[in-house]
């Protein structure tokens, strides 16, 4: 048999190299990739839970320090007065164990109620005017107030946000998510002007208030919660479709609506429920 030079061998797999290659040589890279993917998956799973619980813990500690502890001291003072009163000396000890938590709860409800009344009074306006005119403090107070007001609107059913739209911002050719907060009437032309709140991404305590004509906004089938999640996550968590070029023909109700495809059909999950 004639000897075939190496240069004339047909292209393909090098049989000799394939037979001598260590089959375990590809395992380290695959193992490192799987290990990295598992670590990233564990981080994605644990980080939101840890951040959520840390924020909740901070809120509870703040509430305990500035609200619950003062109420507990006030309850102790009232309870001591009851113990020293001649007509209440015969009450059993278990009565105080039951009455103290109830008294603290009633005091907390009464405090929040009177603070709610003070929100519309000159006391609140005076305190707010002072905080807004103190350097450094005014920036912190304004940011915290906006966040708390947004949370309060969500607890009240999102009544502050009418619907979600797209507006041309920050320049023509680009569109941003906007939350419609009010509807005005132009005195000259009679056209409807919407007040639209465009929040900043990732951490949205601030943003921009835009006055946009009704016909200049694009209505989309996103509700307020979907939009806030998209803003806070920087666009990572968004519904699968959006009416970007051609909006909905009619505005959605305040609570939003189902996610629809380009043809306007509602997208359903595998179990048949509307997404």
pLDDT on residue 187 = 93
pLDDT on residue 211 = 94
What is 145-175 written as a DSSP string?
Answer: HHHHHHHHHHHTTSTT--EEEEEE-SSTT-E
Q: What's the predicted TM-score (pTM) here?
A: 0.44
Q: What is the radius of gyration, based on Cα positions, of the chain?
A: 31
What are the residues whose beta carbons fall under 8 Å from the beta carbon of 78, sequence distance 6 or more? 103
pLDDT on residue 232 = 78
pLDDT on residue 270 = 40
pLDDT on residue 188 = 92
Domain boundaries, the chain: 158-275
Four-CA torsion 21, 22, 28, 34, nearest 10 degrees: 80
3-state SS class at 178: strand
3-state SS class at 87: helix
Q: State how far the Cα of 163 lies from the Cα of 159, in Å rounded to an integer.
A: 10
pLDDT on residue 88 = 67
User: Residues 149, 150, 155, 160: is their CA dihedral positive or negative?
Assistant: positive
Q: State how far the Cα of 218 lies from the Cα of 245, in Å rounded to an integer.
A: 8
pLDDT on residue 268 = 44
Dmax (CA) for the chain in angstroms is 124
pLDDT in 10s for each residue of the chain, 275 residues: 455 454 444 444 454 444 455 555 555 578 888 888 888 888 888 887 888 788 788 888 887 888 777 877 777 777 777 777 776 667 677 776 777 777 777 887 888 788 777 777 777 788 888 888 888 888 878 777 766 766 666 555 555 567 889 999 988 889 999 988 888 999 999 999 998 989 887 665 578 889 999 989 998 988 887 888 888 778 888 888 888 888 876 655 544 455 444 454 554 444 344 44
pLDDT on residue 210 = 92
């Amino acid at each position: 048999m004639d000897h075939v030079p190496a240069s004339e061998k047909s292209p393909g797999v090098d049989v000799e190299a394939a037979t001598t290659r260590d089959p375990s040589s590809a395992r380290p890279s695959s193992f490192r990739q799987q290990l990295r993917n598992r670590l990233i998956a564990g981080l994605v799973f644990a980080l939101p839970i840890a951040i959520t619980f840390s924020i909740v813990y901070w809120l509870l500690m703040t509430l305990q320090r500035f609200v619950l502890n003062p109420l507990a001291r006030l309850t102790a003072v009232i309870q001591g007065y009851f113990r020293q009163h001649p007509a209440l000396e015969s009450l059993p000890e278990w009565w105080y164990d039951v009455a103290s938590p109830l008294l603290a709860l009633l005091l907390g409800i009464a405090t929040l109620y009177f603070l709610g009344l003070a929100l519309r009074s000159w006391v609140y306006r005076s305190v707010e005017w002072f905080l807004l005119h103190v350097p450094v403090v005014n920036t912190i107070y304004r940011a915290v107030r906006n966040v708390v007001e947004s949370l309060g609107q969500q607890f009240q059913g999102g009544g502050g946000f009418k619907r979600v739209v797209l507006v041309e911002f920050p320049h023509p050719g680009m569109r941003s998510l906007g939350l419609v907060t009010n509807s005005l009437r132009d005195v000259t032309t009679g056209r409807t002007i919407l007040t639209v709140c465009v929040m900043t991404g990732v951490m949205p305590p601030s943003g921009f208030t835009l006055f946009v004509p009704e016909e200049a906004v694009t209505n989309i089938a996103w509700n307020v919660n979907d939009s806030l999640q998209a803003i806070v996550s920087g666009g990572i968590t968004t519904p699968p479709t959006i009416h970007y070029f051609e909006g909905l023909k009619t505005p959605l109700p305040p609570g939003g609506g189902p996610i629809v495809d380009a043809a306007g059909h509602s997208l359903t999950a595998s179990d048949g429920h509307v997404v």
